C-alpha cells in the first residue's frame, strides 16, 4: 500500500473538495493486476472479445460498423434503458439511469442523495466506495458489521439499534463482495420494513445479481420491493463485460433519480456510444452469457472445495452461496498482506489481502469466475509445497 498517499482530492463544483482516501483494492491491483499471469482474486467473471459478443446475434457485427459515434443521451440510450428495465418486475425505462460502470453510479448516488451531516449505515466489510464517498462528504457512517463466525449474516437488531435521528440511508451489497454471502428473502423484507418505518433510502448494490449458485436463492431487486430503494447493476460481473463500463441505477424515487442525473453532468455526461450498442447485444443474450459464467463458477467451486480440504491446516474455507468471490483466512501466523505479496512475487498468483477491505490482517479474497482458475490454483499449490514446511500443511 502506498502509505504516502493520504488523500485523493476531487474538486466537484465551486469550492467543494472531497477528500477521498486511496481506494486500497484499486491501488493493490494497480501494482499487480496487469503483470501477474494468474489472477485468483478477480471479482468479474470470464470476459469475451467484441467479435465473440457480436457473434451471438446475426447482423450485429454489421450494425456495429454503422453505429454513430456522436454524443449519446445523458440518461442512457433509450433502447438500452428499456433492455435494463426488463431485468426488473416493476421498473420502467425512464426509471433507469445508465452510468460509466457501477463505480460512477455509486459516486453519483452518494453525492446526489446525501448531504453533509447525514448518517448512513453500510454493510461491512464492503467495496470501499460504499463507505468512503459518504465519509469523504462529511456524512456520518456506521459500519453494519458482519462476522465469519455468524456466516457473515446481517443482523437486523443491530441495524435497528444503529438508526439515529439523522439516518438517511441503508446501504448493502448482496450477493456480497468479498464474502459470497447472500441474505434470505426474509432478511431483505425486514430491511425494507425498517427502512419504510423510518423513511430511509435503501441503496442495494446488486452488481453480482444473477450469480446465485442455486438460482432458487435469487432475491427480488430492492427497487421492485420498495419505492425508496435504488438498485445498482452493472455488466462487469455476472456478464464479465467490465471493459464496456456500463452500469446503472434503477429506482422509482424521482428525486433521487433527478439528483443523480444532474450530478452525472459533472462526471461522464453520457456513456460511450459503442459500449451502449454492445451492452444492448449482451443484455439480449444475457441468459447465455450468465449461464456460461455460472457453469465456470460451479466447476471452480468444486475445485476450491477440494483444494481447501487439502490445506485445512492452513486456511479456513466457507463455501460462498453466491457471486464470484469468497473470503478465506489464513491460520498460520503471518500478516495476510505479506503473504499475498510473497505469493504474487514468487508464483505470479494474485490474491487480494483483506487489508484492502480494511478488514483485519487474516482474510484474503479468492475470485473464481475465470476459466483459468484451475491453473492458478495449481500454481498456488506449487508455492505452498515449496514454502510451507510439511508438518504445517
Ligand atoms: C460490490 C461492488 N460494487 C460496485 C463495483 C464497481 O463495479 P465496476 O467496476 O464495474 O464499476 C464493484 C467492483 O468490484 C463491486 O464489487
Q: What is the pLDDT of residues 58-77, one digit of tens each?
A: 999 999 999 999 999 999 99
The whole-number pLDDT of residue 177 equals 98
pLDDT surpassing 50 at residue 164 = yes
Q: Which residue has the cell 465551486?
A: 14
Q: Which atom of ligand 1 is nearest to the CA of 106?
A: 4
Q: Residue 175 and residue 172: Cα distance in Å, rounded?
A: 10
The whole-number pLDDT of residue 15 equals 42
The whole-number pLDDT of residue 19 equals 84
DSSP H/E element including 326: strand 325-330
The whole-number pLDDT of residue 176 equals 98
The whole-number pLDDT of residue 17 equals 63
Q: With bands split at pLDDT 50, 70 and 90, how would you rate the model's confidence at 16?
A: low
Per DSSP, helices labelled H in 6-59 are 24-32, 50-54
pLDDT surpassing 60 at residue 244 = yes
Q: Residue 253 and residue 257: Cα distance in Å, rounded?
A: 6
User: Is ligand 1 within 6 A of the CB of residue 177?
Assistant: yes
Task: Enumerate the domain spans of the chain.
Answer: 8-48+287-392, 58-286
pLDDT surpassing 80 at residue 3 = no
Q: Residue 205 and residue 101: Cα distance in Å, rounded?
A: 12
User: Is ligand 1 within 6 A of the CB of residue 178?
Assistant: no
Measured over the CA atoms of residue 319, residue 24, residue 229 and residue 153, the dihedral's sign is positive
Cα 313 to middle of ligand 1, angstroms? 32
Pick the closest to residue 112 from 8, 203, 21, 10 (CA basis). 203
Global pTM? 0.95
Q: Which atom of ligand 1 is nearest to the CA of 103?
A: 11
User: Is ligand 1 within 6 A of the CB of residue 42?
Assistant: no
Helix axes of 373-387 and 336-347: crossing angle, nearest 10 degrees: 110
pLDDT surpassing 90 at residue 40 = yes
Query: Cell numbers of 87, please?
Result: 431485468
Q: Residue 366 and residue 354: Cα distance in Å, rounded?
A: 10
User: Is ligand 1 within 6 A of the CB of residue 179?
Assistant: no
Cα 59 to middle of ligand 1, angstroms? 31
Q: Residue 17 and residue 172: Cα distance in Å, rounded?
A: 26
User: Is ligand 1 within 6 A of the CB of residue 212?
Assistant: no
Q: With bands split at pLDDT 50, 70 and 90, how would you rate the model's confidence at 332?
A: confident
Pick the closest to residue 282 from 210, 205, 232, 373 (CA basis). 210
Cα 389 to middle of ligand 1, angstroms? 38
Name the residue with higher pLDDT: 120 or 5: 120
The alpha-carbon radius of gyration of the chain (Å, integer) is: 21
pLDDT surpassing 70 at residue 320 = yes
Closest Cα to atom 7, ligand 1: which residue? Answer: 102
pLDDT surpassing 80 at residue 8 = no
pLDDT surpassing 80 at residue 389 = no
C-alpha to C-alpha distances, 110 to 123, 178, 263, 328, 352, nearest whole angstrom? 15, 21, 10, 30, 26
Per DSSP, helices labelled H in 199-270 are 222-225, 254-264
Q: Residue 228 and residue 230: Cα distance in Å, rounded?
A: 7
User: Is ligand 1 within 6 A of the CB of residue 44?
Assistant: no
The whole-number pLDDT of residue 18 equals 73
- Alpha carbons within 13 A on the beta-carbon side of 240: 26
- Alpha carbons within 13 A on the beta-carbon side of 383: 20
Closest Cα to atom 15, ligand 1: which residue? Answer: 127
Q: Which of 23, 177, 272 to mutate to test the pocket of ligand 1 (most atoms within 8 A of CB)?
A: 177
58-286: CATH topology: 3.40.640
Pick the closest to residue 191 from 226, 164, 167, 165 (CA basis). 226
Hey, which CATH number is domain 8-48+287-392, 3.90.1150.10, 3.40.1410.10, 3.40.50.720, 3.20.20.70? 3.90.1150.10
Summary mean pLDDT of the chain: 94
Measured over the CA atoms of residue 222, residue 283, residue 44 and residue 107, the dihedral's sign is negative
Q: Residue 256 and residue 97: Cα distance in Å, rounded?
A: 11
DSSP H/E element including 387: helix 373-387
Q: What is the pLDDT of residues 104-155, one digit of tens each?
A: 999 999 999 999 999 999 999 999 999 999 999 999 999 999 999 999 999 9
The whole-number pLDDT of residue 391 equals 73
Amino acid at each position: 500500500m502506498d502509505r504516502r498517499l493520504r488523500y485523493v482530492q476531487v474538486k466537484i463544483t465551486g469550492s467543494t473538495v472531497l477528500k477521498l482516501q486511496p481506494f486500497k483494492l484499486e491501488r493493490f491491483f494497480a501494482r499487480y493486476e496487469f503483470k501477474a499471469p494468474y489472477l485468483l482474486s478477480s471479482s468479474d467473471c470470464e470476459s469475451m472479445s467484441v467479435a465473440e459478443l457480436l457473434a451471438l446475434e446475426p447482423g450485429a457485427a454489421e450494425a456495429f460498423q454503422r453505429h454513430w459515434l456522436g454524443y449519446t443521451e445523458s440518461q442512457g440510450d433509450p433502447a438500452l434503458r428499456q433492455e435494463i428495465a426488463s431485468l426488473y418486475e416493476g421498473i420502467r425505462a425512464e426509471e433507469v439511469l445508465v452510468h460509466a460502470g457501477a463505480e460512477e453510479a455509486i459516486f453519483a448516488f452518494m453525492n446526489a442523495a446525501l448531504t453533509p451531516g447525514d448518517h448512513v449505515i453500510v454493510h461491512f466489510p464492503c467495496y470501499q466506495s460504499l463507505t468512503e464517498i459518504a465519509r469523504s462528504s462529511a456524512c456520518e457512517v456506521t459500519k453494519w458489521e458482519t462476522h465469519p463466525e455468524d456466516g457473515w449474516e446481517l443482523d437486523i437488531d443491530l441495524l435497528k439499534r444503529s438508526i439515529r435521528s439523522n439516518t438517511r440511508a441503508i446501504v448493502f451489497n448482496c450477493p456480497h463482495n468479498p464474502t459470497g454471502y447472500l441474505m434470505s428473502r426474509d432478511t431483505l423484507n425486514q430491511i425494507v420494513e425498517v427502512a419504510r418505518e423510518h423513511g430511509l433510502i435503501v441503496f442495494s448494490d446488486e452488481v453480482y445479481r444473477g450469480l446465485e449458485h442455486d438460482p432458487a436463492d435469487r432475491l427480488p431487486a430492492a427497487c421492485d420491493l420498495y419505492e425508496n430503494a435504488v438498485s445498482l447493476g452493472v455488466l462487469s460481473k455476472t456478464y464479465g463485460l467490465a471493459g464496456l463500463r456500463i452500469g446503472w441505477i434503477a429506482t422509482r424515487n424521482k428525486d433521487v433519480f433527478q439528483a443523480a442525473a444532474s450530478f452525472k453532468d459533472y462526471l461522464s455526461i453520457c456513456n460511450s456510444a459503442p459500449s451502449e450498442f454492445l451492452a444492448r447485444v449482451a443484455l439480449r443474450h444475457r441468459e447465455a452469457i450468465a449461464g456460461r459464467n455460472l457453469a465456470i463458477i460451479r466447476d471452480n467451486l468444486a475445485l476450491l472445495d477440494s483444494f481447501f480440504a487439502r490445506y485445512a491446516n492452513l486456511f479456513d474455507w466457507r463455501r460462498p452461496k453466491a457471486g464470484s468471490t469468497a473470503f478465506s483466512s489464513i491460520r498460520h501466523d503471518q500478516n495476510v498482506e505479506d503473504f499475498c505479496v510473497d505469493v504474487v512475487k514468487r508464483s505470479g498468483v494474485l490474491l487480494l489481502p483483506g487489508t484492502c477491505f480494511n478488514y483485519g490482517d487474516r482474510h484474503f479474497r479468492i475470485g473464481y469466475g475465470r476459466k483459468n482458475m484451475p491453473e492458478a490454483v495449481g500454481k498456488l499449490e506449487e508455492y505452498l509445497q515449496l514454502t510451507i514446511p510439511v508438518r504445517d500443511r
